[in-house]
A and B are shown apart, each in its own frame.
Chain A
Amino acid sequence: MNLGLGNLGALAAGDTQADRVVPRTGFTAQLTLFAAATMAFLAVFTLALSLASGRLAARWGDELARSSTIRIVAPQDQRAAQTEAALRLLETTRGVQSARALTDAEQQALLAPWLGPDLALDALPVPRLIEVIEAPDGFDATGLRLRLQAEVPGAVLDDHTRWRAPLVQAAHRLRALGWLSTLLIALTMGAMVTLAAHAALAANAQVIAVLRLVGATDTYIARAFVRRFTLRALGGAAIGTALGMAAMLALPRASDAGSVLTGIGFQGWHWAIPLLVPLLAAIVAFAATGAAARRTLRELA
């Protein structure tokens, strides 16, 4: 029985006479349509989650990978001198592109969410912060720490690795889970279409007997069922994808505040990716129904 992917073209072209041999009615039609629509909707959602996680991981990785912070924790009267010493040391450190001490206003802005906007930095032992931007090759963090320890005793280097790595890892895992979910959705849809195709084939045993009696080949019989189910899955998945994309459009736009949650969705050319969902659903249905038809026709022989 020849039902390879090469026959997808012939399947799409259709055969109106052959299409009529299988009765149109039956609960399997609604079941396939509903399953395909639901799975496509979920697939759009998991795709959006995966892509958003990927963007998040990339952003956290890029933005934070090349910046470090040095805290100058020293008595008030030594803080300025130690800051100057640290900046001079950084100027001669290989792999440091630029370094600058944050202004009082910038430090106040950083602390404002916790301590309020009217904070007097002089009244609190707040360390001075130095922002370090790395050159593309990066610097030797261990070497820099040793030099700071020797020349600026109040300086503490924080290269963000400690807290950045688990965040990036979590985002990567979330993306992997999203892709895994998409795969599981495709497999589940394949299983549901297989069950529906089995039910349809069993319910149409009489039709199959008549077709065999008049000289229809198994390929012809299987194609009539496969085409029916492939088109149903395609139609259902198109509906589910449209609804899923509409739901994504309805989500709040990404903003600086709370961008992790509001960033779920598609951006730019990524909007084209969910359009592949109906096509993939049709391929899954084609393969699942083909296998079910081969098995059932063998059993009914």
Chain B
Amino acid sequence: MIELENVAYSYGGGELLSDISVKLAPGSFHFLTGPSGAGKTTLLKLCYGALLPTAGVVRIFGADVRAMQRDDVAHLRRRMGVVHQDCQFLNHLPVAENIALPLTASGRDAKAAEADLDDLMAWVGLTERAQALPPELSGGERQRAALARAVIMSPDVVLADEPTGNVDWDMSQRLLRLLVELNKMGKTVLIATHDLSLIRAAKVHVQARVLRIANRRVQLAGADL
């Protein structure tokens, strides 16, 4: 589904990631962990084609991202749901329209998908906040809205960058349950987080592989987690 083969990424003369080989199989659940600044976000961006590797090959759904045009990457991204660290919304649009944004951006009629949108809003518990503007939402609501937007196109893969970074423990558990639910629906899930307690909590519900970035390389984490 997503495959990184001997990937390296350099920026500003320094190598951030080196010789990374990772394969996300369909329906798998992965955590990506490591200290702040280790390169988790960079690796995630490589996974959804926002960055191009300086060495090695990144294949998304079998296609080499370096051989693709920008619009081709955009089309691939519609099969991937991304929850960004700082959520990133269009602040002038209500939450419901932000969540429906992937539909409109792909030329689909958001009005025709209104029932799906309502279900999704209910799933993440934001029905009452549908017409609020993003700056009016709490941290947890923003994360849930971002998750709803990430899955509205029913993507094959969900990539989440620190989805519980700005929320309390209860909310992080709620978000985790939503991600586990998605995995049980057959979606591939990759969560980048530095929160080890979240990983431990997840292991109760789902069989997850944990990848740890250390010294610019990815290792499979041991049982200490």
**Residue ranges of A at the interface with B (Cβ–Cβ < 8 Å):** 1, 17-18, 20-21, 23-24, 206-207, 209-220, 297, 301
Contact = CB atoms under 8 A, between A and B. Distances in A.
Contacts of B74: 212, 215-218
Contact of B106 (A1, A206, A213, A215): A215
B88 A213 contact: yes
Contacts of B89: 210
Contact of A206 (B88, B93, B97, B101): B88
B74 to A, nearest CB: 4
Nearest to B99: A214
18 contacts: A17-B104, A20-B97, A21-B90, A23-B92, A206-B88, A210-B88, A210-B90, A210-B101, A211-B105, A213-B84, A215-B77, A215-B78, A216-B105, A216-B106, A217-B71, A217-B75, A218-B71, A297-B70
Nearest to B77: A215
A18 B102 CA distance: 11
B93 A219 contact: no
B105 A215 contact: yes
Nearest to A21: B90
Contacts of A216: 74, 105-106
A207 B90 contact: yes
Contacts of A212: 50, 74, 77
Interface in B56-111: 70-71, 74-75, 77-78, 82, 84, 88-90, 92-93, 97, 101-102, 104-107, 109-110
Which 3 pairs from chain A and chain B are nearest by CB? Answer: A216-B105, A215-B78, A215-B77
Nearest to A214: B102
Nearest to B150: A214
B149 interface: yes
Contacts of B78: 215
A215 B75 contact: yes
Contact of B70 (A18, A21, A23, A218): A218
Given A215-B102, A215-B153, A220-B105, 12 more contacts: A20-B93, A21-B90, A21-B93, A23-B90, A23-B92, A210-B89, A213-B82, A215-B78, A215-B106, A217-B74, A218-B71, A218-B74
Interface residues of B, number: 25
A300 to B, nearest CB: 10
Most chain A CB within 10 A, of B78, B84, B88, B105, is at B105
A194 to B, nearest CB: 22
Nearest to B52: A301
Interface of B: 50, 70-71, 74-75, 77-78, 82, 84, 88-90, 92-93, 97, 101-102, 104-107, 109-110, 149, 153
Contacts of A23: 90, 92
A11 to B, nearest CB: 15
Contacts of A211: 101, 105
A1 B149 contact: no
Given A1-B71, A17-B110, A301-B70, A214 B101 contact: yes
Contacts of B109: 17
Contacts of B82: 213-214
B101 A21 contact: yes
Contacts of A17: 104, 109-110
Nearest to B105: A216
Contact of A214 (B71, B77, B92, B107): B77
A269 B102 CA distance: 50
A165 B143 CA distance: 80
Contact of B104 (A21, A207, A213, A301): A21
A206 B71 CA distance: 18
Nearest to A25: B92
A220 B79 CA distance: 17
A301 B102 CA distance: 19
Contacts of A219: 71
B104 to A, nearest CB: 4
A158 B186 CA distance: 99
Q: Which of A207, A210, A297 has the most CB of B within 10 A?
A: A210
A72 B18 CA distance: 104
A20 B94 CA distance: 11
Which of A20, A206, A213 gathers most chain B CB within 10 Å? A213
A216 B151 CA distance: 15
Contacts of A218: 70-71, 74
A207 B91 CA distance: 9
Nearest to B102: A214
Nearest to B88: A210
B105 A214 contact: yes
Nearest to A17: B104
